Structure 1
Amino acid sequence: MSRPQFDPAAYAAQLQEKTQRLKALLAPFNAPEPEIFESPREHYRLRAEFRLWRETGSENRHYAMFEAGDKFTPIMIEDFPIASRRINELMPRLKAAWQGNKVLSFKLFQVEFLTTLAGDALITLCYHRPLDEAWQVEAEKLAAELGVSLVGRSKGKRIVIGRDYVEEELTVADRAFRYRQPEGAFTQPNGEVNQKMLGWAYEVLGERQDDLLELYCGNGNFTLPLATRVRRVLATEISKTSVNAALANLADNAVDNVTLVRLSAEELTEALNEVRPFRRLAGIDLKSYQFGNVFVDPPRAGMDPDTCELTRRFDRILYISCNPETLAANIQQLSDTHQVVRCALFDQFPYTHHMESGVLLERR
């Protein structure tokens, strides 16, 4: 993990630069002024990972990060102000534990933290050695002492102490939604901004009497609040870990109008185009859905051309993007039939060039 250039005094200027960049990318499509959603200046990142660096001639290991492109010059980290307060509280306690325990420290090379706004925490310890019963005994003591769940990873082995997920609670339109966020699966890193994204998408979608198609649904981050705005949702996701988390989240929140299918966006495109059948769609009558909107939150590569073409069928396309360049490319493909009527910038990643954005496209 490379080190962000943390500088709260420069935050406003950096956000303005991102705003101008987004406006320039969307200018060819006559997009309206973007709505801007700022991040907290510090303690906003809910997950972090560190390599451990051993001092020459010593067994002591320290948290380390590296500048981009340089894997050989460690920057020793004692605290990490962009990370959540929970991570900063756990970092010195965990370090003291491994420094004082050879079983825990032997061939430990990486530490990962996953926390939530609700205060839950999970730590993953990664090793270049097999994990044995002696390690598990010490790890169970450590988990109890820190008040966390803990996962040990080594080649071909994974030991879970407590849970292999954290529990989050996010509020959208005065309703609290509970989320399981699994270790090793994607979750939005900036909880405060994620909550703003959910609220924006909820408001933009509006109250509907028809159905919603959702592509790339992940663990159901957007699915839960958006499902309360429509008659039914057909959601797709390819990651088995994320699908299992989404199903648990739907059940935990008593959301019963969502059908979740483990298909990629490309596969669903084939199914809707009747190119070929899929066993995972057995018993699902695709023609019974009355889709008025499609919601997409694709990876950095954006939508592939066929999936982008699929979205053209819908009167309204609600698109959340983690890469404004691929967002602009997808809008270009759709621009002859759809126009941008709402757009937003969500500053998920302060002090970096990355940004999350959202657009609503409506048929011309």
Structure 2
Amino acid sequence: MTYKTIDPSEYPLQFAEKAKHLQQLLSPYYKGELELHESPRTHYRMRAEFRVWHEQNDLYYIMFNPETREKIRMDEFVPGSGLINTLMKAVRDYVIDKPILRNKLFQVDFLTTTTNEAVISCLYHKQLDAEWEESAKQMHETLSPITDKLGLIGRARKQKHVIGTDEVVECLNIGNRHWKTVQTENAFTQPNAEINKQMITWAINSVGTPKHDLLELYCGNGNFTLPLSTQFEHVLATEISKRSVASAQVATEMNGINNVEFVRMSSEEFSEALKGDVEKRRLQNIDLTSYDFGTVLVDPPRAGLDALTLNVVSQYQRILYISCNPDTLIQNINDLSDKFTVTKAALFDQFPYTHHIEAGVLLERKTG
């Protein structure tokens, strides 16, 4: 929950610096053109979280300056979607004179979509009782006309009260199709919807339409899985989060996809099973020998790929690697450089006005 005041006029220079930095990091392995994908300069974040500050009769949101830790009052949030900004004000104005909802409220999180759906999570330093729930239901009823679908969640220690829903359905227009994904409160989702569309489009264009199967590790809620499924014969996708796998399976049905199987396993567990080192109960109904994997897609956490997973992905012809940490990306590319060449590379500015870099690379096996 840190925030540094943004100046949209500075964005071109900041983006150029990111591009230069990534190009330099990749230069030992890639001499081609780096595809550049700029973010919208304002209202690009579809989710945000704020601390709540109580000051006598006043109540307002704050974030902290990442350098000084000074608190910054947030009456609006320029990076946030228009819906986040509307709901920020609506929630604050509603709870400020209602002690049951206001007392011990210390954080509010917002998850929104381009389809005008939202989930609001209110976090408390107190246990939530029936009186709180009744007041929250009234709040939900009052705020619901703002959105097409609204969920309101109360969280306290070992408590989660859901009013309405705890998930939203995002719909992104990619190519000539509208792709639906299920996004759940407190689960990972791509925060920048426009950049997410560009990432998926780049991935589709990069892989083409090969006559083989796709293996995907760290698939999350199926964000890449479902649009890419049309490019491959079959897809096997793994993810450790039970809730994300459930969301992915629901979205698969929503989109009418029938060539994807999901496995709830970590990449490390799956790598062990793929090598035949261990038997895994969650794979008992899947015949791995029936797949003809030629491409593997990885979108790992900031730590990058572990040694075991690196060894497994190196068995395939192509590796499509989406990275949120260029340092570990470069380490992994270096580890693979004896066998693979980087043939495509892109910068996706998922987090404008920060030092964070989202990158995509396609590695193809060397010949000869």
TM-score, scaled to structure 2? 0.96
Answer whether contact 1:31 1:342 (CA < 8 A) is retained. Answer: no
User: Which residue identity is paired with 2:85?
Assistant: N
Q: Distance in 2 between matches of 1:97 and 1:62?
A: 12
Aligned counterpart for 2:82 among listed residues 60, 81, 85: 85
Residue 12 of structure 1 corresponds to 12
Residue 35 of structure 2 corresponds to 35
2:142 corresponds to 1:145: yes
Unaligned runs of 5+ in 1: none
User: Which residue identity is paired with 1:62?
Assistant: Y
The C-alpha deviation readout for 1:258-315, integer Å capped at 9, x for no partner, is 1100111111111111101101000211111101100010011110111111111111
Q: 1:90 Cα deviation (Å)? A: 1.2
Q: 1:69 Cα deviation (Å)? A: 5.8
Q: Distance in 2 between matches of 1:155 and 1:81?
A: 31
Residue 332 of structure 1 corresponds to 334
Counterparts of 1:20-169 in structure 2, within 5 Å, are: 20-55=20-55, 58-68=56-66, 71=69, 73-147=70-144, 148-169=150-171
Residue 3 of structure 1 corresponds to 3
Q: Distance in 2 between matches of 1:145 and 1:189?
A: 27
Q: Which moved more, 1:130-139 or 1:79-88?
A: 130-139
Residue 266 of structure 2 corresponds to 264
Aligned counterpart for 2:282 among listed residues 270, 280, 284: 280
User: Which residue identity is paired with 1:217?
Assistant: C
- Identity percentage over the alignment? 48
The C-alpha deviation readout for 1:21-54, integer Å capped at 9, x for no partner, is 1001100113411100110000000000000111
Q: Distance in 1 between matches of 2:168 and 2:286?
A: 32
Q: 1:60 Cα deviation (Å)? A: 2.7
Q: Distance in 2 between matches of 1:235 and 1:31?
A: 31
User: Which residue identity is paired with 1:276?
Assistant: V
Q: 1:322 Cα deviation (Å)? A: 0.5
Q: Distance in 2 between matches of 1:241 and 1:7?
A: 37
Residue 192 of structure 1 corresponds to 194
Q: Which moved more, 1:106-115 or 1:140-149?
A: 140-149
Q: 1:4 Cα deviation (Å)? A: 3.1
Answer whether contact 1:53 1:74 (CA < 8 A) is retained. Answer: no
Q: Distance in 2 between matches of 1:239 and 1:189?
A: 18
Counterparts of 1:223-262 in structure 2, within 5 Å, are: 223-262=225-264
User: Which residue identity is paired with 2:65?
Assistant: E
Residue 347 of structure 1 corresponds to 349
Provide the alpha-carbon RMSD of the alignment.
Answer: 1.0
CA 1:141–1:31: 2 relative to 1, 3 Å? farther
The C-alpha deviation readout for 1:66-114, integer Å capped at 9, x for no partner, is 112655x321111011100001111111111111211110110000000
Q: Distance in 2 between matches of 1:4 and 1:70?
A: 10
The C-alpha deviation readout for 1:232-272, integer Å capped at 9, x for no partner, is 01100001111111111111111111110011111111111
Q: Distance in 1 between matches of 2:31 and 2:247?
A: 35
Q: Distance in 2 between matches of 1:293 and 1:141?
A: 51
User: Which residue identity is paired with 2:204?
Assistant: Y
Unaligned runs of 5+ in 2: 145-149
Answer whether contact 2:4 2:66 (CA < 8 A) is retained. Answer: no
Q: Which moved more, 1:332-341 or 1:305-314?
A: 305-314
Number of residue pairs aligned between Structure 1 and Structure 2:
361
Answer whether contact 1:31 1:343 (CA < 8 A) is retained. Answer: no
TM-score, scaled to structure 1? 0.97
Answer whether contact 2:105 2:125 (CA < 8 A) is retained. Answer: yes
Q: 1:208 Cα deviation (Å)? A: 2.1
The C-alpha deviation readout for 1:148-204, integer Å capped at 9, x for no partner, is 210000111100011111110012221001111000000000001001101110111
